[in-house]
């Protein structure tokens, strides 16, 4: 069994503020330690379930958060800040299952800890009219290759969102949001224990969980933070302006949709705020 793990930081137990997960901030070292602890728990669960190959994609911020020597030695580590497909780089049909660790809820979720969708300049993303966040966008990429997402750990709001999108997925809520930057969190050791057990359980029944399928043509709708951002991205070939801050793009290939979302985000991010 080949397992792909995509790991973020905002959904990790004990993290409730950007100070803990933004490079250069005073508590970033602590956030990195908490993050690798949960990733290692997931790797351990995968190994017990029979995984032979495990690839970990460091998917948070600059995507160079995990300290290699602290990662479980049985896993391969994918790092780098210029990944072509970001949080799902390297994912293809050679994998049997996908695991998400440390994920958070989508932009606009009031009780979601540090909720956002990729970046603060994105206020809403929809695929075929349905609002989605990072877990859903990435689950659709896995599904495009016929691979199921079998497990997600993160804040309670993130687990509720993904359950509506992926029937049968196993989840672990590491904390509950009492506000966007207020968390009632499990102890890190307890979160790791649940993740270890949850990943093992999910992978033992990965064939029961269906990959996410998308109806074609696929329509991507993105609402941006500023009018000037929509001005910038509206000149990209194929992108259509649909409102003062919103744009749309259609394609039959989800890899093109995902790539265009990343392009829109990166171009819009060049606008001075």
Question: For the chain, which domains are there?
Answer: 2-108+134-208 (3.40.50.10780), 218-268 (3.30.1360.130)
Q: Can you tell me the distance from the alpha carbon of 235 to that of 233, in angstroms, rounded to the nearest whole number? A: 5
Q: Is 72 a catalytic residue?
A: no
Q: Is 136 exposed, middle or buried, given 0-12, 13-18 or 19+ CB atoms closer than 10 A?
A: buried
Whether residue 58 is predicted with pLDDT greater than 90 in this model: the reply is yes
SS3 state of residue 123 = strand
pLDDT (tens digit per residue) in 13-37: 999 999 999 999 999 999 999 999 9
Whether residue 80 is predicted with pLDDT greater than 90 in this model: the reply is yes
The catalytically annotated residue of 72, 116, 187, 251 is 116
> Nearest Cα to 41, choosing from 195, 152, 175, 154?
195
- Dihedral in degrees, nearest 10, Cα atoms 265, 266, 271, 273: 70
Token look-up 């009492």 returns 178
Rg (CA), the chain: 18
Q: Residue 272 — very low, low, confident or very high, per pLDDT cuts 50/70/90?
A: confident
Q: How many residues does the chain have?
A: 273
pLDDT of residue 242: 98
Pairing type for strands 53-58 and 2-7 reads parallel
pLDDT of residue 170: 98
Share of the chain above pLDDT 90, in %: 98
Whether residue 82 is predicted with pLDDT greater than 90 in this model: the reply is no
pLDDT (tens digit per residue) in 100-158: 999 999 999 989 999 999 999 999 999 999 999 999 999 999 999 999 999 999 999 99
What is the CA 85 to chain-centroid distance, rounded?
A: 12
């Amino acid at each position: 069994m080949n397992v792909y793990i995509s790991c973020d930081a905002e959904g990790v137990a004990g993290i409730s503020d950007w100070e803990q997960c933004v490079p250069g901030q005073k508590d970033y070292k602590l956030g990195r330690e908490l993050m690798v602890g949960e990733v290692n728990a997931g790797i351990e669960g995968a190994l017990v379930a029979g995984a032979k190959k495990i690839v970990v994609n460091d998917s948070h911020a600059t995507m160079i958060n995990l300290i290699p020597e602290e990662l479980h030695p049985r896993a391969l580590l994918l790092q780098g800040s210029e990944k072509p497909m970001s949080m799902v780089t390297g994912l293809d049909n050679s994998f049997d299952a996908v695991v998400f660790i440390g994920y958070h809820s989508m932009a606009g979720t009031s009780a979601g800890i540090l909720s956002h969708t990729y970046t603060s300049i994105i206020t809403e993303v929809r695929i075929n009219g349905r609002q989605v966040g990072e877990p859903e966008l990435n689950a659709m990429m896995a599904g495009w290759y016929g691979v199921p997402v079998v497990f997600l750990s993160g804040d309670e709001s993130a687990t509720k969102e993904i359950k509506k999108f992926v029937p049968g997925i196993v989840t672990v809520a590491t904390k509950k949001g009492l506000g966007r930057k207020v968390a009632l969190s499990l102890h890190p050791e307890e979160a790791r224990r649940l993740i270890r057990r949850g990943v093992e359980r999910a992978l033992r029944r990965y064939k029961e969980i269906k990959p996410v399928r998308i109806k074609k043509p696929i329509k991507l709708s993105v609402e941006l933070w500023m009018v000037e951002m929509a001005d910038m991205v509206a000149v990209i070939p194929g992108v259509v302006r649909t409102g003062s801050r919103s744009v749309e793009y259609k394609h039959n290939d989800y890899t093109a949709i995902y790539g265009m979302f990343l392009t829109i985000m990166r171009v819009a991010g060049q606008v001075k705020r």
